Amino acid sequence: MGLLNSIKKIMGWEAKPAQVAMEKKVEATKEIKPVTNKIKIGHVHMSGCTGCLVSLADNNLGLIKILDDYADLVYCLTLADVRNIPEMDVALVEGSVCIQDKESVEDIKETRKKSKIVVALGSCASYGNITRFSRGGQHNQPQHESFLPIGDIIDVDVYIPGCPPSPELIRNVAVMAYLLLEGNEDQKALAGKYLKPLMDLAKRGTTGCFCDLMNDVINQGLCMGCGTCAASCPVRAITLEFGKPQGERDLCIKCGSCYGACPRSFFNLDVIPEFESISEIIAGALKEGESDD
Amino acid sequence: MIEDPYLGKYISCVSARSTDREILKKAQDGGIATTLMVYALEEGMIDGTIVAGEGDRPWQPKPVVAMTREDILKARGTKYSISPQISWLKEATRSFGLDKVGVTGVCCQMQAVRKAQLYPINMRDVPDKVAFTVGLFCMENFPYKSMQSIVEDHAAQSLGSVKKMEITKGKFWVYTERGNVATVPLKATHKYEQPGCHVCLDYVSNLADISTGSVGSPDGWSTVFIRTKKGNEIWSKAVAAGMFETKPIEDVKPGLDLLKKLAKEKIDKNQKTIEERKTFGVNKALRNPYA
Ligand SMILES: Cc1cc2nc3c(=O)[nH]c(=O)nc-3n(C[C@H](O)[C@H](O)[C@H](O)COP(=O)(O)OP(=O)(O)OC[C@H]3O[C@@H](n4cnc5c(N)ncnc54)[C@H](O)[C@@H]3O)c2cc1C
Ligand code: SF4
Ligand code: SF4
Ligand code: SF4
C-alpha cells in the first residue's frame, strides 16, 4: 500500500480537494510529465489481420490520452507516415513472420535492433495462432507458406496474448511500460512487478494450445475448476465437464489465451491482490483532461 | 483498513443475517450472498450475476447468469462441488449483454476475477464491467463423484433425498428431506478433495468486494467482511435499507478467533504443500503458480 500511495502522490493521481487552483495543478502536472519524457512507441505489422491494431485503437479516448501524455507513435504503417523502422522504446509487433518473405524477416530483425522493449502484440506474434495453419498456395504469394511467431526469430520481452488482445491489456502494458522507462524508483518497481509474468510468458515458449492446460495445469495438479480458460477462449473450444476443462482440440486455433488467463498459470501475489489501487492508478493515468493543458 | 496475513485486507467485519424471510428459508447460512445480489440487482448496481444454479444431476451445481430475483434465489444453498463460475464471465458481457456484472463464488474464483481485470488475456470488456463480487469462505471443494461417494457411500443417503449439506464442527453433515441427519468425519472426506485446492492460499475470499461464510458466527448467521470501497458502499446502503440485521463480530461466539485459526491452518498446510512440490521428484519440481 505504501508503495502504491506514494506512486499516486508522485503522479498527482491521488484524490484532490475540489478547490485546487487550476494554475497550480497545470504547473504541477507539467513538472511531472514534461512532453520531452514521452516514450516512443511503434506498431510493427507482420503477418496479422490488423485486429490487434484495431484493439489498440479501441481504447478510444484512452489511446488519445496515451498519445497526448505518455507516448509518441513513431511508427505505424496504417496510422503514421513513416517508412523505415526508427529507434523505439517499445515496439508492439502484430502478426507472425513469414520466413519466405525476406522483407518481413529483415523488418523483424531491424525491429529488435532498434527497440528497447519488443512486445508480441496478440497471439499470432506470440504463438503463431491461426497462421500456424497456413499451408501456402494462396494468391498472390503461393510460396508464402511458413509463418513463425516472432520469438522464433528474435528475442521477445513481453507477450500480450489474445486473438485479438484485449484493449484493456494493451492499455495496462502501455501505462506500465511508460512507468518502467520514465517513472521514479517506486513506479519502476511496480511496473517491473506487473510486467514480470508477461515477460515470463515470453520466455516460456512460442507454442500455445489447449494442451498447455493439460500439461502445465491439470497434469500438475493445479486446476481448481474456475472456468476462466473457457471464458478466455476466442473460439469457444473449451467446455467444463464435471468442473474440469475439456478442449475441442480440432477447434483450438493455438492462441495460447487459455493458459495465460488461467489463475493457476501465474498468480503474482505481490500484484493481483492490489487490484483496487492498481486499477485506480491506471484509470487515473488515463483520466480525460486531468493533466491536459 | 485492517490487514491480516490470513484474513486479508478489510474495512470492517460483522456478523449478519438477512431480514428477507423467503431468502432465509433455503439459504445456507445468513442468506448474505443471495440478499446482497438481489439488493444490488433491484437497485441497479448490477444487471445480473453469476450464481451456482442447479445442474443436471442432484446437487450438481451449474454456473448461471441470473438476471431476476427468482433466478438468484434458485442458487441458494452451498453445493459442495465444482461450479466453474468464471466460465460465464465474458459471455455475461456479450451473449447476455450485461454492463454491470455480479459474481458469486469461492476464493479462487474471486482470484480469477481480479486476474482477469488486471491481466485481461482475451477478456475484452471484463475489467470495467465487473460491478460487484461476493466471495465465499472455502476450505476445500469436491469433484462431483467425490461428493456422491461421501453422501451415498459414507453417509448412506441418496443424493436425490438430500435437503442440505454442511461442513461444520469437524464433520460433513447431510440432512435429508425426511429428517435424517447423517455425518461423516472430515478425516474420511479429505482424500476426496479436489487436488487443486491443496495449493490454495485463501480461506476467506480476500479479493472479493464482500466475503462471507458461516465460521465465526452463530448458527443461521454469517460472518461478513467488507473489503473494498465498492463493497463498503453497497453494504452500507443495504444495511441502511434494512436488508440485514447485524451484530458486532466481537459480540458473537465463536467469533474471529476461530476463523483466524482455521484460516491459518488451511494456509499453512497449503504453503507446506507448495514447498513440498519443489522437491517432489528427483531433481524435478512440480510447478508453482505463485513463483
Ligand atoms: C465449496 C464450498 C466450501 C465452503 N467452505 C466453507 C468453510 O470452510 N467455512 C465457511 O465458513 N464457509 C464455507 N463456505 C461458504 C458457506 O457454505 C456458504 O456458502 C456461505 O456462508 C454463504 O451462505 P449464504 O446463506 O450467505 O448464501 P446463500 O444465500 O445460501 O447463497 C449461496 C451462494 O453460494 C453460491 N454457491 C453455492 N455453491 C457454490 C459453489 N459450489 N461454487 C461457487 N458458488 C457457490 C451461490 O451462487 C449463491 O450465491 C463454503 C462454500 C462452498 C461453495
Ligand atoms: S482456468 Fe485453469 S484452473 Fe481454471 S478451470 Fe481452466 S485450467 Fe482449471
Ligand atoms: S483452447 Fe482456445 S484459448 Fe486455448 S489455445 Fe486453443 S483456441 Fe486458444
Ligand atoms: S479451496 Fe481454494 S481452490 Fe479449492 S475451491 Fe476453495 S477457493 Fe477454490
In tens, the pLDDT along A79-133 reads 888 889 999 999 999 999 999 999 999 999 999 999 999 999 999 999 999 999 9
Measure A261 CA to ligand 3 centroid, in angstroms.
Answer: 10
- Among the residue ranges A2-6, A236-240, A241-245, B172-176, the one predicted with the least confidence is A2-6
pLDDT in tens, A213-268: 999 999 999 999 999 999 999 999 999 999 999 999 899 999 999 999 999 999 99
Cell of B5: 496475513
Strand partners, B136: B106, B212
Q: Are residues B110 and B155 in the same domain?
A: no
Domain membership of residue B287 (yes or no) is no
* Cβ contacts of B92 on chain A, cutoff 8 Å: none
Are the beta carbons of A155 and A112 closer than 8 angstroms?
Answer: yes
Closest C-alpha among B96, B285, B78, B99 to residue B199? B285
Cβ-defined contact of B200 to A224 (cutoff 8 Å): yes
Is the pLDDT at A24 greater than 90? The verdict is no
Mean pLDDT, residues B195-207 taken together: 98
Phi, psi values for residue B99, rounded to 5°:
-95, -25
Q: pLDDT-based confidence at A8, cuts 50/70/90?
A: low
pLDDT in tens, B214-260: 999 999 999 999 999 999 999 999 999 999 999 999 999 999 999 99
Q: Are residues B118 and B22 in the same domain?
A: yes
Average pLDDT, chain B: 98
| Nearest by CB: A226 against B84, B121, B287 | B84
Report the percentage of chain B scoring pLDDT > 70. Answer: 100
Which residues of chain A from 190 to 209 reach within 8 Å of chain B, CB to CB?
Answer: 194, 197-198
| Nearest by CB: A243 against B89, B144, B206 | B144
Domain membership of residue B166 (yes or no) is yes
Task: Identify the CATH number of the domain in which residue B170 sits.
Answer: 3.10.450.750
Measure A23 CA to ligand 4 centroid, in angstroms.
Answer: 52
Residue of B nearest to A55 (CA): B124
Q: Which residues line ligand 4 (CB under 6 A)?
A: A 224; B 106-108, 138, 140-141, 194, 196-197, 200
B80 within ligand 1 shell (Cβ under 6 A): yes
Q: What's domain A211-261's architecture?
A: 2-Layer Sandwich (3.30)
Closest C-alpha among B71, B17, B24 to residue B47? B71
Domain membership of residue B288 (yes or no) is no
Q: Domain limits of chain A?
A: 39-207+269-285, 211-261
* Cβ contacts of A271 on chain B, cutoff 8 Å: 118
**Exposed / middle / buried, residue A20 (Cβ in 10 Å: 0-12, 13-18, 19+):** exposed
- Please give the C-alpha separations between residue A125 and each of A128, A129, A190, B119, B135, in angstroms, as whole numbers: 6, 8, 26, 18, 37
pLDDT in tens, A119-177: 999 999 999 999 999 999 999 999 999 999 999 999 999 999 999 999 999 999 999 99
Mean pLDDT, residues B54-80 taken together: 98
Other beta carbons within 10 angstroms of residue A272's beta carbon come to: 21
Alpha helix positions (H), chain B: 21-26, 32-42, 69-74, 89-93, 107-118, 126-129, 144-148, 186-189, 229-240, 256-277
A227 within ligand 2 shell (Cβ under 6 A): yes
**Exposed / middle / buried, residue A35 (Cβ in 10 Å: 0-12, 13-18, 19+):** exposed
Q: Report how many domains make up chain B.
A: 2
Domain membership of residue B286 (yes or no) is no
B51 within ligand 1 shell (Cβ under 6 A): yes
Which structural domain, as residue segments, surrounds residue B159? Answer: 142-192
Give the pLDDT of residue A26.
37
Q: Are residues B19 and B64 in the same domain?
A: yes
The CA-based diameter of chain B, rounded to the nearest angstrom, is 60
Mean pLDDT, residues B165-184 taken together: 97
* Cβ contacts of A163 on chain B, cutoff 8 Å: 122
CATH superfamily of A39-207+269-285: NADH:ubiquinone oxidoreductase-like, 20kDa subunit (3.40.50.700)
Model ipTM value: 0.97
Is the pLDDT at A18 greater than 90? The verdict is no
Is the pLDDT at B211 greater than 60? The verdict is yes
Question: What is the rounded distance in angstroms from the CA atom of residue A57 to the CA atom of residue A54?
Answer: 5
Question: What is the rounded distance in angstroms from the CA atom of residue A265 to the CA atom of residue A5?
Answer: 29
Cβ-defined contact of B228 to A276 (cutoff 8 Å): yes
Rounded to two decimals, the pTM is 0.94
Choosing from A258, A259, A262, A265 the residue with most ligand 3 atoms within 8 A of its CB, the one to mutate for a pocket test is A258
Q: Are residues B127 and B220 in the same domain?
A: yes
Q: Are residues B42 and B31 in the same domain?
A: yes
B1 or A15, which is more confident? Answer: B1
Residue of B nearest to A226 (CA): B84
Q: Are residues B183 and B54 in the same domain?
A: no
